[in-house]
Chain A
Amino acid sequence: MSHIRSLGAGLVFLAGLWVAAACAGAAPARAAGLELKAQLVWGTDDQKPKDATFKELDPKIKKKLRSVFKWKNYFEINARKIALPGNGTKKVRMSPKCELELRLADEATLEVKLFGEGRWAKTFRQSVKALQQGQLAVLAGDDKDKYGDAWFVIITAPASAKP
């Protein structure tokens, strides 16, 4: 009878250990912040307007966009550097019609909400590690103001920045 009691006690102890370990593993780690860059880009086949203050897009990113999309020219309309805290949300206005809300869902996942004309349009989640390894996260859509053109929001994370 005594060996049955010790067996039961041992099993209960092990079960408790594993539940504790699983809860510790399952609980989201406290993230430590992330440096990001968000760029609003206009994709078009037209030339840059003469009086426009748009900047030329980084050639590497431009090359990537050209490889995937049909447009010849890509202009940076706006760019914002974002210091995302480990806890908390950051709102970034890219244009009067485009707003982003960013947060670290956990230390490995960036969550981005896109607001178009004040309406929450889309949420997506991206691997932080992928971003830090040079991956681009691109939100895009048709330009409502000019038929045939497109808008892009490109989110990147500099490789040196670590969460």
Chain B
Amino acid sequence: MNHQAELRLQAWLDGELPPGGAQAVAAWVQRDPEAAALARELGATKTALLGNEPERALPESREFYWSKIERELAPAEAPAPAHGRPAWLRGWVKFLAPAGILVILALLLFGPMLRSHHRPTLASTAEVESPLDDISSFTFDSESEGMTVIWVNTE
């Protein structure tokens, strides 16, 4: 007997087959000794399990056990208590909080750009570009002498 047939037999015993299918399996069990033997075995197992399921005793009464679970769930479902702010203030807070975040983001994004344009650097660091490959340079800052030197090397 293949596995599919065994599963079909189990489904018949559990009452999960439609009427037509159940009749077909019943007829099959009637005529096939192997199927009948398996049906008896599965039925006996089912009866034994149903009648001998161990009872798990709770450490406390059922009502107390479930009330604990209910208490754990209750705060997550309850609405947040009112903080006592007036309604008009709550409206402003809802507006100002995201606006404040936007302001901070803008400062972070544009702050360095504004600083670089409005606060001239005192450092004498010079930016150097060398358009020609055969000309190189190195830059030297002498803070003690107040001098920035760009030494140009021509090859």
Contacts and interface: CB of A to CB of B under 8 A. Distances in A.
A67 B151 contact: no
A133 interface: yes
Q: Is the interface of B mostly helix, strand, loop or mixed?
A: mixed
B110 A25 contact: yes
A156 B77 CA distance: 74
A106 B122 contact: no
Given A7-B98, A15-B102, A138-B147, A126 B124 contact: yes
Contact of A127 (B120, B139, B151): B120
B114 A25 contact: yes
Contacts of B1: none
Given A64-B146, A120-B131, A141 B110 contact: no
Contacts of A140: 149-152
Interface magnitude class on chain A: 35 or more
A126 B148 contact: yes
Interface string B98-134: 1100110010011001100110111111111111100
Interface string A117-129: 0011111111111
Nearest to A111: B127
Contact of A122 (B99, B118, B137): B137
Nearest to A150: B151
A18 B103 contact: yes
B102 A11 contact: yes
Nearest to A10: B95
B145 interface: yes
Contact of B150 (A21, A107, A124): A124
Nearest 10 A/B pairs, CB to CB = A108-B120, A22-B110, A18-B106, A25-B114, A141-B152, A123-B129, A129-B120, A130-B124, A64-B145, A136-B147
Given A18-B106, A108-B120, 15 more contacts: A10-B95, A14-B103, A22-B113, A25-B110, A25-B113, A25-B117, A28-B117, A67-B144, A68-B142, A122-B152, A129-B121, A133-B122, A140-B151, A141-B153, A142-B153
